Structure 1
Amino acid sequence: MSSLVDLHPITRRSLLGGFAAASALVVLHPFAARANSNQAHLRLMETTDIHVNLMPYDYYADKPNDTLGLARTASLIDSIRAEAGNSMLIDNGDLLQGSPMGDYMAYKKGIKAGDLHPVMKAMNVLGYECGTLGNHEFNYGLDFMFNTLAAAKFPIVCANLTKGELASDPKNDVLYFKPFTIIDKKIKDGAGVESTIKVGFIGFVPPQIMMWDAGHLEGKAQTRDIVEAARAWVPVMKEQGADIIIALSHSGIDGASQTDKMENASLYLAGVDGIDAIFTGHQHLVFPGPKTWDGIKGADPVKGTLMGKPAVMAGFWGSHMGLIDLMLEKDGKSWKIVDFTCEARPIYHRDDAKKIIADTKDEPKIVAAVKDEHEATLTYVRTPVGKTSAPLYSYFALVADDPSVQIVSNAQTWYIKDMLKDTKYKDYPVLSAAAPFKAGGRGGADYYTDVPAGDIAIKNVSDLYLYPNTVQAVLITGAQVKNWLEMSAGMFNQIKPGSKDEALLNLDFPSYNYDVIDGVTYEIDLSQPTKYDKDGKAINPDANRIKNLSFNGKSIDPAQKFVVVTNNYRAGGGGHFPEIASDKVIFVGPDTNRDVIVRYIISKGTIDPEADGNWKFAALPGTTATFQTGPKGRTFAAQVKGAKIEDAGNGTDGFAKYRLVL
């Protein structure tokens, strides 16, 4: 399964002749090397979407992780500055929520006026010069955000967050933050002569915070369209003497037609006259970079431009440092850009075997600054945050309705109903699609979810949900729901009625593509061939494995519309499910599925993961099939709902063998 953490970009490191962080040799950027007396090289460095990932540690899995952490990104800074003539470090938002450290600071420790959040400790140590807001800054409420950001030793700018109703003229909006700042930056030209350039920074947050955090913001704030706000304020920045204007856009890149209050508006923001360069974020992707951006008119993912202007998106969780290098030339008393390069420089790479290789080491200043909070977070994730009334296990997730999948669906349904309650989709029926991630296979005979009844800690959530996917929802028809399930049923081999102990599972079909859809009931008829192969190709178009598909006790109406909550991988077309793609997406959540599960557990106190038995195999009298699962599953075989399972001895490679009586 392709997950967010697997992302690794195309970069422009070849321009520098090698990765300076891995070598004692510092290679100057070509602009720094060739700048003349009236020219200067200015390097702008971006972090974005840190999400309180300060240390290279996955708190959910409770183990180190070389793909993340500001401590790793920060170790690039000295060498990156050494390559440059002049430099500035900025952040593009989503600092305060997204890892258990963020939850610990909000739910356990708290931040009062005058307190120092570990994010601010780290950023102040590193010498950031400007920042903007991300949508996740609002997740714990306005007081928490303001108390935290008050400790920043650098300006925070945001031009489209108002304290009340929008004014007729954006320049008359009453804003929570300054819309922009102009920094008098001392720079040296190619001859070593120091002078001042006025660098303007303007910031933007996604307008959708009014939906995502309505509980914190309703009646207290409004958001303005990003491009509209930019068109109002950029001329003011010019009037106040900005030589160059940099947009800090916590908004992604979308090639769709421009709309009012567009979430991912950076492409159109780059088209605003007067903006010279743009830092983007929010989407947890890399620009310039891979094929994600192919076909978007106005975006050049090789050169790194939006509307012809330099642009960067630096991944997420500290995975990359974004770099925009500007060759500046003095034109009378002011400066102008005459050339640029763009790069997203990673903290790791993968070798030929896809093994993760760290390209950086921990920055000692960050490790020391956040040591206490890191250790407190470890205690926090290992401490129960709720209880489960029954065991959570996935030993039989592929052959019967299962508690580990059930609890994910329960949490997703709880979340999406709340998110859509004030939208035009509020009256549509909600279904939830979830798959078992830990289901043996190549992971081995112990690769299963197994959480006993009783206390449940945050780190147990990684057992339930392996991937850092984000929540999305699609709007589809009843017919498309059925085809979604027909695709999932490719998990099973065709079984001849009356046969004994045929192999049940299609081992070429990945378990993470075996979606169970909750909210409907159905049976799977194994006597039928599979309709689709693992790549979504209809190989038996007339096959009909899904039987008795019902909603609210009645046969599903093929034309009825349903909201199905899932993850970004599936909603974006991952797994090649028929007709499930980004054009069906009606909700893009700001939260990971893991975070939703944690919130659900905390809100319920005690969760009931018992499977509701909404699906089963159609009866085939006199027929049995066999499958392998972990030997620890013997404890639970008799408890499985809707299936008769018998122990069939030992399997191969440490697995146990079971018989399913059909």
Structure 2
Amino acid sequence: MSFLFTQTNVTRRSLLGGIAAGSALVMLHPFAARAQANQAHLRIMETTDIHVNIMPYDYYADKPNDTLGLTRTATFIDKVRAEASNSMLIDNGDLLQGNPMGDYMAYEKGMKAGDLHPVMKAMNALGYDCGTLGNHEFNYGLEFLFNTLNGAKFPIVCANLTKGQLASDPKKDDLFFKPYVIIEKQIKDGSGNSSPVKVGFIGFVPPQIMVWDAKNLEGKAQTRDIVQAAKAWVPVMKEAGADVIIALSHSGIDGTGQSERMENASLYLAGVEGIDAIFTGHQHLVFPGPKDFEGVPGADIKKGTLQGKPAVMAGFWGSHMGLIDLLLERDGNKWKVVDFTTEARPIYHRDENRKVIADATDKPEIVAAVKSEHEATLAYVRRPVGKTSAPLYSYFALVADDPSVQIVSIAQTWYVKNLLKDGQYKDYPVLSAAAPFKAGGRGGPDYFTDVPAGDIAIKNVADLYLYPNTVQAVLITGEQVKNWLEMSAGMFNQIPVGTKDAPLLNPKFPSYNYDIIDGVTYQIDLSQPQRYDGDGKLVNPDAQRIVDLKFDGKPIDPKQKFVVATNNYRAGGGGKFPEIAADKVILVAPDTNRDVIVRYIIEQGSINPSADANWTFKALPGTSAVFESGPKGRQYAAAVKGAKIEDAGDGAEGFAKFRLIL
């Protein structure tokens, strides 16, 4: 089986225009400048995790944002093409979901056969050569996915997504997409002569989509382990004549050891013989770079290699352009890689005052291509649905009970109680689990919810709940409620009593896994070690971070049954919370959590989402901790219920530092 495409670089460049390669302003890459007659420079450019951020615009805040946008990355594409003798452009997935434009296209406009999604308009205009799938491609269902991807003027590859059960041999899997393509590309060598090189691209998606999007995929699809699929297909690509093999891996970098069906398998994918370079994504981090993967065995953060092979992860939302430059050398009629460099080039930087400075401008052709969808999205997100009598903000959602999480829980409880009121579970108490999604971190110092009192629009609801999850409910015991909270408490570092200004937050714990459970009261004892690790494994059996856990004012009965309203991700096992899995699900609702919030606000007309401080930290005399949040949070710090928070000056990269008195 062979999938072969041909292309001519000169034609693609003449169509795209941009900076002329002969311009005196262009600095050629050293490989292009020094290539000999039997050598050629090939630059491969990556975008990843765009999440529908075509425009440099934050639809939640309803204002421009210089840290994101494919229209900005697009100007880099022109520039870096001009620096190279030969170039190709790929995307590494997570295109179709992630901001209100994605929701508008899925829920308001819809995608019928023959429609052209704005993401495809932009990518076709930029001349992408190949792409693969991300896990969020499946959030709106398979019909939406295929109607969208049918508009791509470039191949989409994925070697580990099947239409049914896995075959005994991966090469016999009934795949939704081509596992690979081999593009025969005309390249100029050091002497200026053109000749063909066969560049193979193979793609992979995280196997966990079968959990995260079970409602869209169960009974329709299956996934195979990434490394297993690669070991089957890469030799086939070699036999089909590929000179160079590039892995498009929508999978991150995890150095804790290889395991079956790993979510972040790129490090071990690099160990597959025959793969020459790896493009990674999914984690919304940057590689190579000084901090994100420091200390990961087998990952060289300076040279940009995984197990010695060139690799790149280009941030998210268009924040970076990933570059792998290959020096190819002809060996008879074949080409091989003899040298390489890697780079993740940002579209902005911060000055000495921490102000964001754009390093790229918009590409007018892309702005024009998506103008109508951009304007329609603005109208969509500005539509009011109700009022709030108190501000909704998430600046302190990780350190105190928070109004932005409170309203989600209130709406979920209201919805689930209504659905269960006449059925077999009508007499069970209903709790609600919700997590803060916009809590700074990798998203930066402005990545927080901040809705003033007054009108609430759809953009505000989308800001409260970023993902198109659907409501589900599980039936669990009081003991399992406690263990759920123990897992969530991995958000925090252990802090011995009497310690001053200890770092509070565990940077490896994602905020979307920090569930707060409403309907019970409890405290978190930070002097204790965490009971579970990030994979839900019991690592400290004697640890009890969750103390004074009560329901209805009394200590919770470990055997009592509770219904917990949550989302399909968590109920299906997402986050690896102990004993929370599909076998506990008693309700699979048809509505998204976001729609439920909108419905609740519409029915109430006006809401008062003030936090009730149902959880706090246990007092630790003489102890304090520090954490970072958005500078705009300073106006709310004194009003936070259940916690004493002080301004502790400036943090790093535009954040503010705060002190929590324990």
TM-score normalised by length of structure 1: 0.69
Mapping of 1:223-622 within 5 angstroms?
223-384=223-384, 386-387=385-386, 393=392, 403-410=403-410, 431-432=433-434, 449-452=451-454, 456-461=456-461, 477=483, 517-519=516-518, 521-522=520-521, 548-551=548-551, 553-555=553-555, 598-602=594-598, 606=603, 610=609, 613=612, 615=614
Distance 1:104 1:519 in 2: 31
The Cα offsets for residues 373-404 of structure 1, whole Å up to 9 and x where unpaired, read as 111111111013x4468655569999997644
Closer, same or farther: CA 329–58 of 1 in aligned 2, 3 Å? same
- Greater Cα shift, 208-217 or 606-615: 606-615
Match of residue 59 from structure 1: 59
The amino acid across from 2:37 in the alignment is: S
Distance 2:329 2:394 in 1: 65
The amino acid across from 2:614 in the alignment is: W
Closer, same or farther: CA 483–189 of 1 in aligned 2, 3 Å? closer
Distance 1:307 1:546 in 2: 41
Mapping of 1:85-104 within 5 angstroms?
85-104=85-104
Distance 2:91 2:395 in 1: 45
Question: When the two structures are aligned, how many residues end up with a matched partner?
Answer: 530
SS of residue paired to 2:292: helix
Say whether the 8 Å CA contact 1:97–1:137 is kept in structure 2. yes
Closer, same or farther: CA 231–410 of 1 in aligned 2, 3 Å? farther
SS of residue paired to 1:294: coil
Closer, same or farther: CA 333–166 of 1 in aligned 2, 3 Å? same
Closer, same or farther: CA 247–412 of 1 in aligned 2, 3 Å? farther
1:434 Cα deviation (Å)? 5.1
Distance 2:32 2:364 in 1: 28
SS of residue paired to 2:340: strand
Distance 1:306 1:121 in 2: 33
1:133 Cα deviation (Å)? 0.7
Distance 1:397 1:234 in 2: 48
SS of residue paired to 1:341: strand
Closer, same or farther: CA 127–94 of 1 in aligned 2, 3 Å? same
The Cα offsets for residues 63-106 of structure 1, whole Å up to 9 and x where unpaired, read as 00000000000001121011111000111111111111111111
Match of residue 119 from structure 1: 119
SS of residue paired to 2:40: strand
The Cα offsets for residues 348-373 of structure 1, whole Å up to 9 and x where unpaired, read as 01112211110000011101111111
Say whether the 8 Å CA contact 2:98–2:466 is kept in structure 1. no
The amino acid across from 1:181 in the alignment is: V
SS of residue paired to 1:293: coil
Distance 1:267 1:259 in 2: 12
RMSD across aligned C-alpha pairs, in angstroms?
A: 4.9
Distance 1:121 1:248 in 2: 21
Closer, same or farther: CA 332–435 of 1 in aligned 2, 3 Å? closer
Distance 1:397 1:307 in 2: 40
1:483 Cα deviation (Å)? 7.9
Closer, same or farther: CA 586–51 of 1 in aligned 2, 3 Å? farther
Closer, same or farther: CA 383–613 of 1 in aligned 2, 3 Å? same
The amino acid across from 2:297 in the alignment is: K
Match of residue 6 from structure 1: none
Distance 2:614 2:193 in 1: 75
Say whether the 8 Å CA contact 2:388–2:453 is kept in structure 1. no
1:37 Cα deviation (Å)? 0.4
1:519 Cα deviation (Å)? 3.2
Say whether the 8 Å CA contact 2:132–2:203 is kept in structure 1. yes
Distance 2:187 2:492 in 1: 63
The amino acid across from 1:44 in the alignment is: I
The Cα offsets for residues 598-638 of structure 1, whole Å up to 9 and x where unpaired, read as 354257564766558463999xxxxxxxxxx99x99xxx9x
Give the greater-gyration-radius structure (CA).
1
Distance 2:119 2:481 in 1: 38
SS of residue paired to 1:361: coil
SS of residue paired to 2:257: coil
Percent pairwise identity: 66
**Mind listing any 5+ residue stretches in structure 2 that lack a counterpart?**
1-18, 417-429, 468-479, 529-543, 568-574, 582-590, 618-631, 644-662
Say whether the 8 Å CA contact 1:39–1:327 is kept in structure 2. yes
Say whether the 8 Å CA contact 1:59–1:459 is kept in structure 2. yes
Distance 2:489 2:205 in 1: 38
Distance 2:135 2:331 in 1: 39
The amino acid across from 2:98 in the alignment is: G
Match of residue 221 from structure 1: 221
Say whether the 8 Å CA contact 1:46–1:89 is kept in structure 2. yes
1:586 Cα deviation (Å)? 9.7
- Matching of residue 166 in structure 1 with residue 170 in structure 2: no
Distance 1:486 1:114 in 2: 49
The amino acid across from 2:107 in the alignment is: Y
Distance 1:363 1:642 in 2: 48
Closer, same or farther: CA 414–279 of 1 in aligned 2, 3 Å? farther
The amino acid across from 2:38 in the alignment is: N
Closer, same or farther: CA 348–242 of 1 in aligned 2, 3 Å? same
Say whether the 8 Å CA contact 1:478–1:556 is kept in structure 2. no
The Cα offsets for residues 98-136 of structure 1, whole Å up to 9 and x where unpaired, read as 111111111111111111111111111111011111111
Say whether the 8 Å CA contact 2:249–2:279 is kept in structure 1. yes
Say whether the 8 Å CA contact 2:465–2:594 is kept in structure 1. no
The amino acid across from 1:601 in the alignment is: I
1:459 Cα deviation (Å)? 2.4
Mapping of 1:622-637 within 5 angstroms?
none
The amino acid across from 1:46 in the alignment is: E
1:303 Cα deviation (Å)? 0.5
The amino acid across from 1:598 in the alignment is: R
1:293 Cα deviation (Å)? 1.1
Match of residue 175 from structure 2: 175
1:479 Cα deviation (Å)? 9.3
1:460 Cα deviation (Å)? 1.9
The Cα offsets for residues 195-224 of structure 1, whole Å up to 9 and x where unpaired, read as 000000001111111111111111111111
Closer, same or farther: CA 50–412 of 1 in aligned 2, 3 Å? farther
The amino acid across from 2:76 in the alignment is: L
Distance 2:220 2:182 in 1: 28
Closer, same or farther: CA 137–414 of 1 in aligned 2, 3 Å? farther
The amino acid across from 1:195 in the alignment is: S
Match of residue 48 from structure 1: 48
Closer, same or farther: CA 430–400 of 1 in aligned 2, 3 Å? closer
TM-score normalised by length of structure 2: 0.69
Distance 1:164 1:435 in 2: 33
SS of residue paired to 1:103: helix
Distance 1:95 1:396 in 2: 28
SS of residue paired to 1:76: helix
The amino acid across from 1:92 in the alignment is: N
1:299 Cα deviation (Å)? 1.0
Closer, same or farther: CA 484–311 of 1 in aligned 2, 3 Å? closer
Say whether the 8 Å CA contact 1:479–1:558 is kept in structure 2. no
The amino acid across from 2:517 in the alignment is: D
Distance 2:494 2:298 in 1: 38
Closer, same or farther: CA 602–148 of 1 in aligned 2, 3 Å? farther
Distance 2:281 2:360 in 1: 22
Match of residue 69 from structure 1: 69
**Mind listing any 5+ residue stretches in structure 1 that lack a counterpart?**
1-18, 417-427, 468-473, 491-505, 534-543, 568-581, 589-594, 619-628, 644-662
